[in-house]
Every structure is written in C-alpha cells, then in structure tokens.
Structure 1
Amino acid sequence: MRFSRSAFAIWCTAVVLAACGGSGERAENEILIAAIFDLTGPTADVGVDYADAVQGHIEWLNGRGGIDGRPIRLIYQDYGYQVPLAEQLYTQFVQEGALVFMGWGTGDTEALRPRIMEDRIPFSSASLSHVLGDAHESPYNFLVATSYSDQFRIVLRWIAQDHRAKEGDGNAQVAFMHNASPFGLSPWVQGGEDYAREIGVDVTPYAMSRGATDYTAEFSRITQSGARYVVFQNTSAPAAVALRNARSLGVDATFVCLNWCANALLWRLAGDDAEGVVGAIPWAPLTDDVPGVRDIRDYLESRGEDYSEKTNAYTQGWWTMGLFVEGIRRVLDAGQELTGENIKNAIESIDGLDTGGASPPLTFTPTDHRGSKGLRLFRAENGMWTAMTEFLTAP
C-alpha cells in the first residue's frame, strides 16, 4: 500500500499513541483520568490530533507542577470507533479508579450516558450531539464546544441571509451531506430540520456512505434539486473527496463545513478544491493568533512540531482537558474531597471562563451543560482559514 506523507504521519502517530495507553501502579497523589480515542477507525483523520492534544495538555500541565502539586495520570486506549469496545474500556478504566472520562464518538457517548450518570463520572467527548449538553438528560456530560445543532442553526441563518442578499426572495435550497451515523444526523434530527422550516430554508439530507470514493450520484441529484449551498457534517477525509468530486463535475454551490471538516487537514487533502469553503469553527485554528492558542503553539514548538499542520481538533482537545483541570482545581482549592460529584458541581459553577479568544467564554450551570453557544465563520483562502465574522450566537 502506498501512503501519502500526511497519511503516513497520521499512521505513525496512531501506532505510537496506541502503544502508550494502559494502566499500572500509580503514585498516591496522582489524579487518574481515562480516555478512549479513535486512532485507527473511520474518524482517525481528526481523532489523532484530538488525542495528541489531550495528552499534550497533561504533559504541559505536569511540567508546571500539576494541579496544586498533584500530577495527572492519563490511561487510554484506541477503540477504533467501536461502541462495544468503548463500553468495555469505560468499565475497565472506571474500575481502575478514573475520576474523569474523556470520550470520543456520538454513538458510544450516547450509549454510555446511563452508566456515566449511575457512576457519577464527569464526562466529555469530542461528540457535540446537542442532547449531551442537556443537564437533565445527561447530568454528568459536558459539551465544551458549540453543539452540532447550534452550529447548524448558525450556518442555516447565515445561508438564509446570504441567499436574500444574492437572490432577494425565495427559499434557499440546501443539500446536507452527512456521515451515515448518529454523528452525521445529529444536527438534523436534534433541531436542525425544525429550524430550517421555521426560517424558510429548504434542506435535503444526503448520506455519505463510509469509505465512498465517488459522490457523482449524490451531486447529480443535488444539481437537479437546484441546491446552491452544500453543508458537510463529516470529517475532513470524506469532505475532501466530495469537494474534489464536486469541483471536477462543475457543481455551482457554496460549500460549508461544520467543525470536523473545517480544519487544516481539509487543505492537505483537497488542495485548491478547498478554496472558498466556509467553515463553522467553534475553536480557533492554531494559525489564528489569539491568546488562547499561544500556550499550545509554544508547547508544540518545544516538541519541534509545526502547529500550522495541526487541525483545530487540537485546540478543542486541549481546552476540553483544560475545562476538567479547572473543575478539579476548584475542588482542591475548596478543600473538598476529589470525587466525581464534586468535580461536576465545580464545573457547574464556571461562569464565563476566559479562553483567550479561542472560543466564546464558557459557562455551565446545574441546568445547562452546553458551555458554548457560539462560533466564528471562517473562509478558506490561500491555504489558511480567515475569519469572516465575529462570534455568532445560536438562535
């Protein structure tokens, strides 16, 4: 098999990371956190950066003395996006004493919700399914980035405004190309369909089958429908395939990526075909020089890594870990016992956590675990993501 340089780098990193997980004896004052990552499965194209960021934040923090002098220890394993394995690893790591759990996918996170609640384990994953931020339904789950549904609403509102500015009247026609999974359908079934109808935008979903290398049939139907906007809810690799396909077919549309394909990897895979794509980006790309990414950039440079090659999944993973560090620090500062329930309560007290412009300030309450309601829209220009709006809040 012949690998491109980027694919080979991802593969090498995945092998190294997968080999480093596991358990063993730990020091008495260590704080144990567990994680599952997708390093070899269908979303590994962005999963490797997210995993590296979670581990990187812990290494960076421990190099500064940990939390009140207590180091964090991370136990983790690649689960390849397999829900049964996620459930097995969750059980194993909780039995080993993990106080906090970092998950990944929508299907496995939703499947684990009842057990997370029963075990009282503060939990966050890369999944931004809207229901996971419902504190009544998911009292121990926390969303640290704008939910898929809120992302989709922001994009649909922008499309409606852009369509009116260009066409004047009539409903905007939108093709929603999504991963064929709960992750892909999440923004549509959890509020997106109703909101589109409410604002007069006509949306047609198109499933992107796993591993597809050609979307000619889908784009033929999209062209016949008259859609002038195509929104991707998928990771970078399949979105890049679709973009190359659409450009070669001469599809006349504005392309929009929700967060998992609006990243640096899209450029590497799609090349010039990514030019002009609009990205809904909850966490700043590392090329966006705001205070909230400078520690990350310094850390990566200290390891001899080029931050411009990282996706914004790295920013999201770093700050997701950072939120739980803040919760743990508040428990320790209050002199309380370090338990899952106390960490949960501490996170629910966070009001306007400043992320240095990497995202809107994060706020959690006992009734709302969706910490961020906004994002900026960026445009792909000359190999970079350029901000085209200020932070937009979901309606």
Structure 2
Amino acid sequence: MKATKATMLLAGIAASALAMSGCGSSGGGESDEPIPIGVLADLSGATGDVGSVFNEGMLAYVDNLNANGGINDRQLEAMSNDYAYEIPKAEELYRKYVNDESVAIQGWGTGDTEALRTRVANDELPFMSGSFAEELTDPEESPFNFVVAATYSDQARIGMNWISEDAGDKTAVAILHNDSPFGTAPVQDAKDWVKEKGLDIDVTSYAMPAGTTNYSGMLSQVDADGADYIMVQNVASPAAQLAKDLADSSGDQKIVCLNWCGNELFVTAAGEAAEGHMMVQPVAPLSADKPGHKEIVDYLEANGGDPKTTANSYVQGWYTMHAMAEGIRATLDGDNELTGANIREALETMGPINTGGVFGLGEIEFSADSHRGSNSAGMYTVEDGKMVEVEGGLTP
C-alpha cells in the first residue's frame, strides 16, 4: 500500500509548546489548538507484522478525521513512534509524550501497557492499546486503561465454548501461546472457564519460543498429549508457520486462532494450510462488509489502498483511535477542559460508541465500574483463502 497522507503529515509534525495545564489542553470547545496524542507503535519488533498494520489504521483514521474538520474544528495530532516491542523504549517514548503534553496515549502490547499502567494512573492519561488483557478492564486496578474489544480471556472462553460444541464429546485442547505477557494473558482464564462450566475438555499449554522457524517438535508433543484442537494466542507469522508444519505432518488438529492471528495475514502467509481452520475475532474484517466498514473502504480507495488486501488489524487500529476520539469529542461537547481526567469521565459516561457492526455486537461502551468495551466476538473460518463469518455476536 502506498504511504497514506497521515504518514506523510505526521513525519513533519514537531512537538509544539501548547498552552496547557497539567497533562491536558486548556479550554473547552473554544480553542483551535491541535489535540496531541502519543502513539506507541511496534513497526519493527516481534509483533510488527500486525502492529504496523494496526498503526497504519490509527494514522489513517486521524488523517480522515482531520480532513473532515477534526474534532470540533480542532486537528488531532498523533505523534507516532516505533518502540520495536521493547519496554524500555516504550517507557522512554511515554516520558516524551508526557513532556509534549499529550492528552491521551495509544499503546500497543500487553507488556508495555502493563508496565506503564501505574504511570498512566498517576499522570491521569487515558490509555488504549492493542492489548486486550482482561486485568486492564478493572478501573480499581487500571483506572485510566480502556479495552475496546473482547478481552483475550473472553475470546478464549468463546473459543472453548465453540470447541465443546464442535467436538460433541470429550476432547483435548492445546493452547500454544507467545512467550510473553501477551501470550499468557488468557491461558489460566481459559483453563478456569473449562472447570467452571464443566466442559469436557482437557487443556494443556505450551509457549512458542520467539524466532522458531519449525514447530514440528512442538506438534509431536501436542500429538503425544492427545490434543484434538490447537488454540493459538500469538501473532500471524508464527501461527501461519504452525499451520504449514501441521499440514506437512498430516496432522488433523483444528487450529482456533484468537485475535492477533485470526486475520488475513495468517490466511495469506499460511496459504492452503489455512483452509478450514477457525478464528475468534472481535473485530469484523472488511470482507464481512459491515456498515461501519464503509468509511474505511472509501478512505482506502481514495488514498491508493486496496480494501481486498487490507488486514483487519487496520480496522482495529482505525476504531481504537475512533473510540478515543469520541471520548475527546464528548469532553469538548460538554465544554470541559481537555484533561485526561475529563476524557476518562467522558468515556465512562457518554454511552455506547456505534461501530456499525464492526465490533462484536456493534457497540463499544465503558462505565465507571468496567473499562471492558465489549465482550463479544465472531467465529470465522477460512474458505478458499478468505475469512468467512460462521457466527457473529458470540459472548462467553
């Protein structure tokens, strides 16, 4: 895809000394100052395959928003930098964004999101990210973190429910996960869910070592443990290699990918080996043709992009930035000072954010009691090289 206008615009943005108080822009709806948001992006690190697409979707949303008048005639200024999935770099960039008086932060990974959680709370900066770890949804523990989609744990619960129904009898599931906080986030919750609901499923889990180029040995262990299904909590590239190795070994396990490998990048990279495998995906891909996709498709077509080859990580980035922008809009519409505390209150009280059917049951909604924006997802399968919706709006 060609570079978007957002990418070119943001490359030339310099941090400006704005008249602000604390970590927020002064004034309510009367100011014409740009609204700064710090963005932590993984463009070149361990999850860069999906992280770069997510970031591109965020920046495209900002470009489209600004081209259509911004928020109450104010431009959104997204300061995006690559932290390469390295927590110390994320912390360094976070300090820079605080100094640049950002009113909110868009992060990426579970590791950096959790590492920054206390600082975010102390600085009173609303924080969204590509991490859907369940512990981030509790305002008592994470008062300024907001999770826009079904958590990894809810996705795993939905996946276990589907497996139980699909198997129709006692079965076994191997959870293969990224060797990181992102990877382990839903593992224990999935095991607890099976026990709580009395599902007749034996569950084992295995870490997928970073940089592995062949999973034949791990698949042999999965076979030895009697697994009939493989649930994957990882990004697209290793999941695709796993699918290829499974096909090469003539294995008959069905793969159930959660969010970050449940996408077109997995389908393309795995090729024929992806056919028939399943995905728990809380954000509908463009191929699902939901009403909320129209603005994205129009933007892509107007800017040299191709909706047919754009992965749904782009859609996730677009709507995550949209959720934050709507919180900012509600703050300004209430003629409140644009501070992190006021944006948080707006997000908690503004009611549902309509996504036109793109997110789960169609809406993102937070409250003072829960920062879980949604708990629903769709089940997809791979048919003829495409993601096909099997059932939408599933909840645990």
Q: Which residue of 1 aligns with 2:179?
A: 180
Partner residue, 1:196: 194
SS of equivalent to 1:276: coil
Q: 1:379 aligns with which of 376, 381, 385?
A: 381
Q: Partner residue of 1:345?
A: 345
Amino acid in the other structure paired with 1:388: V
Deviation at 1:223, TM superposition (A): 1.0
Give, in angstroms, the shift of residue 133 of structure 1: 1.0
- How many residues in Structure 1 have an aligned counterpart in Structure 2? 377
Q: 8 Å contact 1:18–1:39 — kept in the other structure?
A: no
- Which of 309-318 and 103-112 deviates more? 309-318
Amino acid paired to 2:364? L
Q: Structure 2: which amino acid aligns with 1:23? A: A
Distance (whole Å) between structure 1 residues aligned to residue 179 and residue 12 of structure 2: 29
Give the structure 2 partner of residue 61 of structure 1: 65
Aligned amino acid, residue 311 of structure 1: A
Aligned match of 2:11: 20
Higher relative contact order (CA 8 A, sep 6+): 2
CA contact (8 A) 2:348 2:368 kept: yes
Residues 283 and 312 of structure 1 are in contact (CA less than 8 Å); yes or no, is this contact kept in structure 2? yes
Following superposition, the deviation at residue 196 of structure 1 comes to 2.0
Deviation at 1:18, TM superposition (A): 12
Please name the residue that 1:367 is paired with: 369
Q: Helix, strand or coil: the match of 2:190? A: helix
Q: Secondary structure at the match of 1:223?
A: helix
Deviations 1:317-346 (A, max 9, x none): 111111111111111111111110110000
Alpha-carbon contact 2:156-2:186 (below 8 Å) kept: yes
Output one character per residue of 1:247-268: Cα deviation in whole Å (capped at 9) or x when no partner.
0001111111001011111122
Correspondence list, 1:1-395, <5 A: 20=11, 23-25=14-16, 29-164=33-168, 169-170=169-170, 172-189=171-188, 191-198=189-196, 199-359=199-359, 360=361, 361-394=363-396
SS of the equivalent of 1:149 reads: helix
| TM-score, length of structure 1 as denominator length | 0.92
Contact 1:18–1:77 (8 Å) recurs in 2: no
Give, in whole Å, the separation in 2 of the partners of 1:348 and 1:282: 21
TM-score, normalised by the number of residues in structure 2: 0.92
Conserved in 1, the CA contact under 8 Å of 2:134 and 2:153?
A: yes
Paired residues of 2:282 and 2:378 also in contact (CA < 8 A): yes
Query: What residue is the counterpart of 1:4 in the other structure?
Result: none
8 Å contact from structure 1 (residues 34, 98) kept in 2: yes
How far did 1:22 drift?
6.3
CA distance in 1, matches of 2:9, 2:122: 29
- Answer yes or no: is the 8 Å Cα contact 1:32–1:100 preserved in 2: yes
- Cα offset for 1:21? 7.5
**3-state SS of paired residue (2:259):** coil
The CA distance in 2 between the partners of 1:305 and 1:362, in whole Å, is 27
* Structure-2 residue corresponding to 1:5: none
Question: SS of the residue aligned with 2:355?
Answer: coil
Q: Which amino acid aligns with 2:329?
A: R
Distance 1:280 1:250 in 2: 24
Asked if the contact 2:17–2:100 (Cα under 8 Å) also holds between the matched residues in 1, the reply is no
Cα distance change, pair 51–21 in 1 and its aligned pair in 2 (3 A): farther
Secondary structure of 1:260's match?
Answer: helix
Q: 1:294 to 1:366 in 2, by over 3 A?
A: same
Distance 2:179 2:368 in 1: 33
SS of the residue aligned with 1:139?
A: coil
| Distance (whole Å) between structure 2 residues aligned to residue 18 and residue 142 of structure 1 | 27
Give me the whole-angstrom Cα distance separating, in 2, the residues matched to 1:161 and 1:390.
16
Summarize deviations over 1:340-395 as a string: whole Å, max 9, x none. Answer: 0110000001333221010121111001000000011011111111110121012x
For residues 48 and 309 of structure 1, the distance between their equivalents in structure 2, rounded to whole angstroms, comes to 15
1:25, distance to aligned residue in structure 2 (A): 2.6
Q: Partner of 2:284: helix, strand, or coil?
A: coil
Q: What amino acid does structure 1 have at the position aligned with 2:234?
A: N
Q: 1:192 to 1:350 in 2, by over 3 A?
A: farther
Consecutive unaligned residues in structure 2, runs of 5 or more: 19-31
1:206 aligned counterpart, secondary structure: strand
- 1:165-210 CA-partner distances (Å, limit 9, x unpaired): xxxx33x200111011110010013x22211223232111111110
Measured against aligned partners, the alpha-carbon deviations of 1:71-99 in whole angstroms (never above 9, x if no partner) come to 11111210000001101110111111100
Cα distance in 2 for partners of 1:286, 1:350 equals 27
Distance 1:179 1:255 in 2: 15
Determine the C-alpha separation between the residues in 1 that align with 2:140 and 2:373.
15
Cα drift, residue 216 of structure 1: 1.1
Aligned-partner Cα distance in 2 for 1:29–1:247: 56
Deviation at 1:163, TM superposition (A): 1.2
Q: 1:82-125 deviations in whole A, cap 9, x for unaligned?
A: 00110111011111110010000101100100000000000001
> Which whole-Å CA distance do the structure 1 matches of 2:14 and 2:178 have between them?
33
Q: State how far apart, in whole Å, the 2-side matches of 1:300 and 1:294 are.
A: 10
Q: Is the 8 Å Cα contact of residues 349 and 365 (structure 1) preserved in structure 2?
A: yes
Q: Cα distance, 1:30 vs. partner?
A: 0.6
CA contact (8 A) 2:10 2:80 kept: no
